[in-house]
Amino acid sequence: MLGANAKSLLTVTALFLLSTAPFGDKAARGQDPANVKSALLPAGSRLRELPLTAVQIRDTFWSPRLEVNRTRTLDHVYKELEATGCIRNFDIAAGKAQAKFGGPWWADSDVYKWIEGASYILAQHPNAQLESRVDELIAKIAAAQQKDGYLDTYVQLNLPDLKWKSLAFNHEMFCAGSLFEAAVAHNQATGKRSLLEVALRLADHLDSTFGPGKQAGIPGHEEVELALVRLYRLTQEKRFLQLAQYFIDSRGQKPSIFERQYEQLAERKVELLGHPMGIKDFYRRFFLVDPAKFDTSYSQDQLPVRQQRVAVGHAVRAMYLYSGMADLVYETGDQGLWEALQSLHDSVTNHRMYVTGGIGPSERNEGFTADYDLPNEDAYQETCASAGMVLWNYRMLKLTGEARYADAMELSLYNALAAGVSLTGDTFCYVTPLASRGDFKRDPWFGVPCCPTTVARFLPALGRYIYSESPDGLWVNLFIAGQVKANLAGKKVTLRQSGNYPWDEKVKLMVEVEAPQEFVLHVRVPGWAAAPDFVVNGERFSPRVVNGYAEISRSWSNGDTIDLTLPMNIQRLEANPQVVYNRSKTALRRGPLIYCLEQVDQEAPLEQIVLPLDAHLEGQYTPGLLGGITLIKGQGLSCPLDDWKNVLYRTVRPANAKPVPVTAVPYCIWGNRGLGKMAVWIDATR
């Protein structure tokens, strides 16, 4: 969230090595791996989102997770927000309670994120009790808002003289953005304007404070940009779009707005998460790592965004910035921002991303370091950053209709993000390593609770990513069983999806129409599926594949079916050799899922296991385990370490290897069976 979790100012292990080798399977799809450019679809042809209420999810992977999120996570998060004082802060700011400020200084945002998640749930599962709890919370928020529209309980209570004057440190704009998103979600779910009115007053206040000829400012933690676009889409108020553009275009000034504000600040201490901290120390910690140079790359402020080509700094902030840029491109077709976004996407996915789709290896800045610096045990891979990858790639998909963005979205969703919450829905990863010596566990809450509230707000909105529509038809982006009801050219179309994805390779789509209707069904062909097979109404069909989407254009009749087979061969992955942590190692992938070894499934100690590249592997669906998962079973080797006792180095000799069965489980469910060792990257040789 803000580096508050950082234990030390470690020197970043920078591996300044140059290469352009890509991650993924573009070559398998027939794309030139070196081509990182995408064509921006014309304004009228960009993919559109369907209302959340138009989509139903009824599958075996997500449905149980969504049910746990609705029935357990939401309540758990609310109780923690209450217990830690995050909700009471609004009462204190309204003069209705006397107590110390509770939670981190951006605690307001966590309350707003809870309301956003609750609103998505209300849209899909009306519940009077939940709705009145949301109403009560909104009344508290409204009461805390100042007459001029300003609202940020931390600053109101602790730093009233620093309103908008310490933007890198305070999170006023991050909280404002979270409020706008919650307000839009609440309005769309309930039709009520109570939170929207609060949001509009704050948005007007922001608009009257910042912009050309007004105060200069940008958020230290991005989010308000994409949220202003969202507010614009709901209200059609152009000022909000212009303000988003202003914030995006004002990054990267010399000297930085943050540096100018820093110079105006007096040395003073505030209590942060129970510890005294100097506000200027915060700036020094993140922007003056080299005391001779004020460097604001931590907040993606090192260059104007149009000139940015490499992903830097705090990973969650970067994801929100890039998402906001993509939203602006969607509305304006801005070519300069689009050029930057494509390079940034190449920087992340081909040089700085974990095999799980997570990002941000370093604890020091909770973010990016250097190309190929992707340690496993020390991986930071914050859950909020994994969610951010979904948000950003979804927007890139809507701009291009290119399946590679849906591939990236699916990778982060099913692996890094899904691993961020336990199957019981009440413990979470803040940091999500790719290897563990057995001492890692998820926690019910954190002093910096952004990740639990991210899970609570993200999952109930999952439906928005599955389908899209465009002027010519419907798009299937993700294979999640259920249905979507769309309105194509004024006519109702229902598309039903069934199957047992991601465990089974067969997906069935069925069209329901009132009368025969012509439209194009765009069905994603995942990059990992080498030879997909299409059968339409019982007959083999070879669709034209454009940018990774199969185009099936015909006059659809009621009951027409598409049987799709996405071969889920078990694949051995290797990393670019410049990822030194993974040399001579291999990872396993089946369908969209990345696998790992957990000690609990092995006969040999994990650190002794070797999985030769020619080892026979097979998938085994195991319905009784962890809600039903496909295991990968195979024969590996165990190389005991007995003859290494009291030996650190020796001349090379053959390993004393014995055959041993090896079982791998999906990374997304690791850590649900108690403490134990885990590894995604497995030795292929010893």
Catalytic sites, residue numbers: 366, 450
Answer whether the bond into residue 502 is a cis peptide, omega within 30°: yes
Q: How far apart are CA 660 and CA 607, in angstroms?
A: 13
CB atoms within 10 A of CB 655: 16
33 half-sphere exposure, CB direction, 13 A CA radius: 13
Nearest residue (CB) to Zn ion, 435 versus 451 = 451
Residue closer to Zn ion (CB basis): 113 or 205: 113
Q: Which helix (H) or strand (E) holds 227?
A: helix 224-235
Backbone φ, ψ for residue 631 (5° rounding): -85, 155
DSSP type of residue 528: T
Q: Which residue, 218 or 450, has its beta carbon nearer to Zn ion?
A: 450
User: Least distance (Å) from Zn ion to the CB of residue 111?
Assistant: 15
Residue 157's identity, in one-letter code, is L
Residue 577, helix vs strand vs coil: coil
CB of 152 to Zn ion, least distance (A): 19
Q: How far is the CB of 563 from Zn ion (least distance, A)?
A: 40
Rounded least distance, CB 54 to Zn ion, Å? 30
For the chain, how many residues are written?
A: 686
Residue 353 backbone phi and psi in degrees, to 5: -125, 140
SS3 533: strand
List, in order, residues 6 or more apart from 508 with CB less than 8 Å away: 497, 498, 499, 561, 562, 563, 564
**Closest distance to Zn ion from the beta carbon of 366 (Å):** 8
d(CA 480, CA 308): 35
Which two three-digit tokens encode residue 174? 């991050």
Which one, 59 or 382, has the nearer CB to Zn ion?
382
Q: Residue 371 or residue 382: which is nearer to Zn ion going by CB? A: 382
Q: Which helix (H) or strand (E) holds 330?
A: helix 315-332
Provide the token pair at 660. Answer: 């041993």
Q: Hey, is 438 helix, strand or coil?
A: coil
Shortest Å, Cβ 449 to Zn ion:
8
Taken in order 149, 150, 151, 157, the sign of the CA dihedral is negative
Strand partners, 271: 276
Q: Which is nearer to Zn ion, 4 or 202 (CB)?
A: 4
Residues contacting 77, CB < 8 A, separation 6+: 114, 117, 449, 452, 453, 456
Q: Which is nearer to Zn ion, 218 or 451 (CB)?
A: 451
Task: For Zn ion, give the closer residue by CB, 108 or 207.
Answer: 108
Q: Is the bond leading into 640 cis (omega within 30 degrees of zero)?
A: no
Nearer to Zn ion, 449 or 543 (CB): 449
Burial of 152 (0-12, 13-18, 19+ CB in 10 A): buried
Chain-centroid distance of CA 576 in Å reads 24
Residue in the shown chain whose Cβ atom is closest to Zn ion: 384
First to last CA, the chain: 39
Contact 405, 393 (CB under 8 A): yes
Beta carbons of 308 and 189 less than 8 angstroms apart: no
Give the nearest distance from C-beta 251 to Zn ion in angstroms.
Answer: 22
CB 389 → Zn ion: shortest distance, Å? 13
The 10 Å Cβ neighbour count of residue 511 is: 21
Cβ of residue 113: shortest distance to Zn ion, in angstroms? 10
- Helix or strand (DSSP H, E) at 325: helix 315-332
The enclosing H or E element of 494 equals: strand 491-499
Shorter beta-carbon distance to Zn ion: residue 387 or 680: 387
Q: Which residues bind Zn ion (CB under 5 A)?
A: 382, 384, 450-451
**Shortest distance, CB of residue 451 to Zn ion, whole angstroms?**
4
